[in-house]
Amino acid sequence: MKVLGIESSCDETAAAVVREDGRVLSDVVASQIAEHAPYGGVVPELASRAHLRAIIPVIDQAVAALPQGLDDVDAIAVTHGPGLVGALLIGLSAAKSLAWSRELPLVGVNHLDGHLLAVYLRRDDEDEEPPPEMPYVALLASGGHTALYEVRAEDEILLLGQTRDDAAGECFDKAAKLLGLGYPGGPVVDRLAKSGDPHAIDFPMPMPSRKNIDFSFSGLKTAVAHHVKEQGVPTSESARADVCASFQRVVVESLVRKSLRACEVTGVPRLVLTGGVAANRGLRARAREAAAEVGVSVHVPPLASCTDNAAMIAYAGARRLARGERDDLTLAPFSRAPGYKRGKIRD
């Protein structure tokens, strides 16, 4: 079965065709970064308009990779939330129109399920690692979400902890903005951090208690703002690198500690890192190092599967279809994460 996935929840218009075993046949992403960069973040109305311009060309390109084009598609999967409602509606309308006119099954996909199952996508890379068995603990850290889950089965995902304020990616973006580094902040902070001293500035560790596995990043953002107010925006490359390295060390340490604590309390020795922040080289390296010390294996999907993409939506949709699930044309968008059942955590 070949599933066409459509994703338009935030600032990427994406379409992909994926087989039910996770094999990616095409994967097209049109990024709106240039559109939003002057504002230092995603502007919802601009996002909707950019999705509208991109959606048909992106779908055309995704199905062009199939010998018979759209005729080879067996089902349509579409992100129906969480996300910006105006943005979601563009992908949903396209998906419903195609499903109706081609008489194809339609399934809505929770964007977070897509991220959490992205580790099963196969892209024919030579150095592709085998995916982990279930259950695994997943850290989903992106611009909009930061949470820990226990993925027991495709349809049994427990929420273990989440951010009480900003997402980790949002914190990277806000810190970069304060430092005059542009948008999105994650990649540039990551690059600068490499040459900086991670102990140059003593930023506070958020929520250091081992009792819970929730996150908080807004205090760290304020600490960067105070630093900039007192010391000014760093002007030399080395001073910028020191702030980035010190900031990144604290974010990474918080993410890694809580993730490994989640593995400890669940007794699950497998950790998946996913979402845009999983691209961070400091996070990948520190997670592997700290996990090895406690016998936890770390699995990180290739970069193109970590950031927003439609292949993960197509795959999660294919799994829903395989379970016999279907949606109809009344499928509606939702803006907030629907409740995953909260897992019980011992302290």
Per CB under 5 A, residues contacting Zn ion are 142, 308
Under 8 Å between Cβ of 121 and 24: yes
Q: Taking contact as CB under 6 A, which single stretch among the options 74-82, 206-214, 269-277, 319-327 is the one that binds ligand KG4?
A: 269-277
CB of 181 to ligand KG4, least distance (A): 11
Name the binder of 184 from Zn ion, ligand KG4, none, CB < 5-8 A by kind.
ligand KG4
Q: Which is nearer to ligand KG4, 75 or 121 (CB)?
A: 121
List 16, 78, 220, 277, residue binding ligand KG4 (CB under 6 A): 277
Asked whether position 173 contacts ligand KG4 by CB under 6 A, the answer is yes
CB of 337 to ligand KG4, least distance (A): 12
How far apart are alpha carbons 218 and 254 in whole angstroms?
13
How far apart are alpha carbons 136 and 4 in whole angstroms?
27
List 5, 275, 333, 343, residue binding ligand KG4 (CB under 6 A): 275
* Token output for 173: 């973006």
Segments in the chain forming alpha helices (H): 33-36, 44-64, 85-102, 111-117, 168-178, 185-193, 218-231, 237-266, 281-293, 303-306, 311-322
Under 8 Å between Cβ of 61 and 15: yes
Asked whether position 81 contacts ligand KG4 by CB under 6 A, the answer is no
CB of 211 to Zn ion, least distance (A): 29
CB of 335 to Zn ion, least distance (A): 14
Other residues' Cβ atoms within 10 Å of the Cβ of residue 227: 20
List 179, 308, 312, 315, residue binding ligand KG4 (CB under 6 A): 308
CB of 225 to ligand KG4, least distance (A): 18
Name the binder of 143 from ligand KG4, Zn ion, none, CB < 5-8 A by kind.
ligand KG4
C-alpha neighbours within 13 Å on the C-beta side of residue 254: 30
Binding mask 140-169 for ligand KG4 (x = CB under 6 A): --xxx------------------------x
Omega prior to 82 cis, within 30 of 0: yes
How far apart are alpha carbons 157 and 179 in whole angstroms?
38
List 120, 149, 172, 247, residue binding ligand KG4 (CB under 6 A): 172
Q: Which is nearer to Zn ion, 26 or 142 (CB)?
A: 142
Q: Which is nearer to ligand KG4, 81 or 275 (CB)?
A: 275
156 strand-pairing partners: 153
Name the binder of 166 from ligand KG4, Zn ion, none, CB < 5-8 A by kind.
none
Under 8 Å between Cβ of 108 and 83: no
Under 8 Å between Cβ of 3 and 17: yes
Q: Which is nearer to ligand KG4, 89 or 279 (CB)?
A: 279
Q: Taking contact as CB under 6 A, which single stretch among the options 130-138, 185-193, 255-263, 292-300 is the one that binds ligand KG4?
A: 185-193
Under 8 Å between Cβ of 187 and 194: no
